[in-house]
């Protein structure tokens, strides 16, 4: 039974939808991570071909910067999604191992630790639900909006114009039912893998971070229980920690080392994904915001750009906020240890034991995108970069 209702549900459904077997992550059964390899390869290949077609469309229309900007955001998201899925497939065993370790920790948790896991998993369910609604709404609207526009144009003007979901250089004439149907199916498959592939890997990151943060909070609770075991001597002048207390502190130190190792493993798995994501996101957000600010567009296009921008902003926030939480919880261990113990009543051997985790926690534990730290400051930096791009595009438009 999950510790929280709907815990890991978004991740489970997303991975299953794109051809992975979520049982490899959700249970300890010895199953293949990629359940339908040919289906997954077919979807990824079609997506890659469409992004190449979009890139070619941008290239041949490079003199018209408005067409270039309109197609840029989807191309950026496609590059990010394919990078995520490629890294996930290449490091699949390591992802499975990390998820399995955390699930074992939850299943073996003491009754006093379960409320912490419950609170963190409730946060994950809430954030993943909001993010999934934003992503799915964007994906549905991008496929429905052309059909609505075609119907509206036919009703108002009496003419019929085939409007494709994504502007690209297609290899056949789509101004007929057969050709348009093939284009629409191609775009649908690409949008499907783009939305659900991103959703699966992003929400998995959120779940991993929430449960690692729970480990830090449980560690602090264990140190507080160990502090309560301090026994003063009869004369009241000094105090010593008994053997049980020192054993408890040693156990806490082992948990601390293991929790830090979980963070390092998470960093190693997501470092490349985060690097590509944040390098491209400034350009992506800038192009979306610029298109949104321009007039003369239909309400359908404006709604699509707004939904897309919202989904990208939530995606960035999930990474930055969770990266900030890891750093904050790690740094707080030292201060929590210092506040929990009556240092004047401790033996020298106990003080030496406590200095080890305090020194270790002062070493900054962080999520990195290879060259930069993922925190709330990075979130602001991305939007500042996007703002600079918007200013440059506005200047170009006015000339």
**pLDDT tens per residue, range 246-277:** 888 899 999 999 999 999 999 999 999 999 88
Sign of the C-alpha dihedral, residues 371, 374, 375, 376?
A: positive
Q: What are phi and psi of 137, to 5 degrees?
A: -60, -40
Q: What's the CA gap between 399 and 392, in Å, rounded?
A: 11
Q: Which residues of 333-359 are buried (b: 16+ CB within 10 A; e: fewer)?
A: bbebbeebbeeebbbeebeebbeebee
pLDDT at 239: 45
pLDDT < 70: residue spans in the chain: 1-2, 26-31, 231-242, 295-296, 364, 396-399
pLDDT tens track for 68-118: 777 778 888 888 888 999 999 999 889 988 998 998 888 888 888 999 999
- Give pLDDT, residue 231: 62
Domain ranges of the chain: 1-398
pTM, two decimals, is 0.91
Instruction: Specify the pLDDT at position 391.
Output: 81
In this prediction, residue 241 carries a pLDDT of 44
Residues 100-138 as b or e (16 or more Cβ within 10 Å = b): eebbebbeebeeebeebbbebbbbbbebbeebbebbebb
Instruction: Give Cα separations from 238 to 13, 65, 339, 342, 346 (angstroms).
Output: 59, 77, 19, 11, 8
**What gap in Å lies between CA 174 and CA 269, rounded to an integer?**
42
User: Which H or E run includes 42?
Assistant: helix 37-60
User: What per-residue confidence (pLDDT) applies to 397?
Assistant: 65
- Report d(CA 178, CA 201) in Å as an integer: 35
Residue 128: per-residue pLDDT: 94
């Amino acid at each position: 039974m999950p510790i929280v209702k709907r815990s890991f549900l978004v991740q489970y459904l997303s991975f299953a939808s794109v051809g992975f077997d979520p049982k490899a992550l959700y249970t300890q059964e010895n199953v293949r991570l990629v359940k339908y390899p040919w289906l997954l390869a077919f979807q990824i290949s079609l997506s890659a071909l469409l992004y190449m077609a979009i890139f070619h469309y941008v290239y041949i229309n490079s003199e018209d910067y408005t067409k270039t900007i309109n197609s840029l955001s989807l191309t950026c998201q496609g590059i990010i999604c394919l990078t995520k899925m490629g890294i996930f497939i290449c490091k699949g065993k390591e992802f499975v191992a990390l998820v399995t370790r955390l699930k074992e920790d939850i299943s073996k948790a003491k009754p006093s630790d379960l409320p912490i896991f419950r609170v963190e998993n409730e946060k994950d369910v809430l954030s993943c639900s909001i993010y999934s609604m934003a992503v799915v709404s964007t994906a549905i609207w991008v496929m429905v909006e052309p059909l609505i526009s075609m119907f509206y144009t036919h009703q108002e003007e009496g003419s019929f114009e085939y409007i494709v979901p994504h502007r690209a250089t297609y290899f056949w004439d789509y101004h007929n039912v057969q050709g348009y149907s093939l284009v629409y199916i191609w775009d649908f498959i690409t949008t499907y893998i783009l939305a659900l592939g991103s959703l699966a890997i992003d929400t998995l990151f959120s779940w991993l971070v929430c449960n690692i943060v729970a480990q830090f909070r449980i560690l602090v609770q264990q140190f507080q229980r160990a502090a309560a075991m301090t026994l003063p001597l009869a004369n009241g002048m000094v105090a010593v920690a008994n053997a049980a207390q020192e054993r408890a502190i040693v156990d806490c130190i082992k948990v601390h080392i293991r929790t830090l190792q979980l963070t390092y493993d998470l960093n190693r798995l997501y470092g490349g994904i985060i690097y590509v994501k944040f390098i491209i996101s400034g350009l992506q957000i800038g192009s979306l915001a610029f298109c949104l600010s321009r007039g003369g567009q239909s309400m359908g296009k404006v709604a699509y750009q707004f939904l897309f921008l919202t989904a990208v902003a939530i995606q960035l926030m999930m990474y930055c906020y969770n990266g900030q939480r890891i750093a904050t919880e790690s740094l707080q261990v030292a201060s929590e240890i210092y506040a929990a113990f009556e240092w004047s009543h401790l033996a020298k051997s106990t003080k030496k034991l406590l200095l080890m985790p305090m020194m270790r926690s002062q070493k900054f534990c962080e999520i990195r995108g290879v060259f930069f730290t993922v925190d709330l400051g990075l979130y602001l930096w991305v939007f500042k970069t996007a703002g600079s791009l918007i200013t440059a595009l506005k200047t170009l438009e006015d000339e």
